[in-house]
Amino acid sequence: LLKGSARLQADGTWKYYAEAKKNLEDAPGKGVEVIEPDPAILAKSDEFVKGDMKVIAEQFRTAYGVANTDAKIAKLAELTEKWKTLTDGIEDDPAALFAVYWNEVFSKLDPETYGMK
C-alpha cells in the first residue's frame, strides 16, 4: 500500500510537470508567445522572496503565536535545497521520482501505525 502511494504521488507529480512542459512546447504552434523572463527580473524576484521571509516570520510570530519562526524558515530553505538536489535531472523519469519518494519518505513510514490516529 505504501509503495502504491509513493507511485501514485510520483506519477501525479510527473504528469503535472510533463503537461506543463508540453504546454510550453506547444504554445508557439497555437499562436501563443512564450516570453522568457529577464535574468534581472528573476534576481529581483528572488531578492523580494528572501526579504519577505522576515515579514512572514514576524506575521506568524505575532498573528498566530508560532515560535521559532526563523529556525522553521531556515529548515524549510534547507529542505527545499535538498529536494532540488534529489530531483535534479529526473524531470523525464517517473520511475526515478518514485525511487526518490520511496527512499526519502514512504519507506520510513510504519505501515502498522501510519494513518491509524
The model's pLDDT over 34-71, given as tens digits with 9 standing for 90+, comes to: 999 999 999 999 999 999 999 999 999 999 999 999 99
pLDDT in tens, 64-115: 999 999 999 999 999 999 999 999 999 889 999 999 999 999 999 998 888 8
pLDDT at residue 117 is higher than 80: no
Q: Where are the alpha helices (DSSP H) in the chain?
A: 2-26, 39-64, 69-87, 94-104
Looking at residue 114, the DSSP 8-state letter turns out to be T
Q: Residue type at 15? A: K
**pLDDT grade for 116, boundaries at 50, 70 and 90:** confident
pLDDT in tens, 15-35: 999 999 999 999 999 999 999
Give residue 5's pLDDT. 94
Q: CA nearest 79: which of 55, 105, 44? A: 105
In total, the chain counts a number of residues equal to 117
Give residue 73's pLDDT. 94
Q: How far is CA 88 from CA 4, 80, 81, in A?
A: 23, 12, 10
Q: How far is CA 117 from CA 2, 13, 107, 111, 114, in A?
A: 17, 27, 19, 12, 8
Please provide the average confidence, as pLDDT, over all residues in the chain: 95
Give residue 38's pLDDT. 97
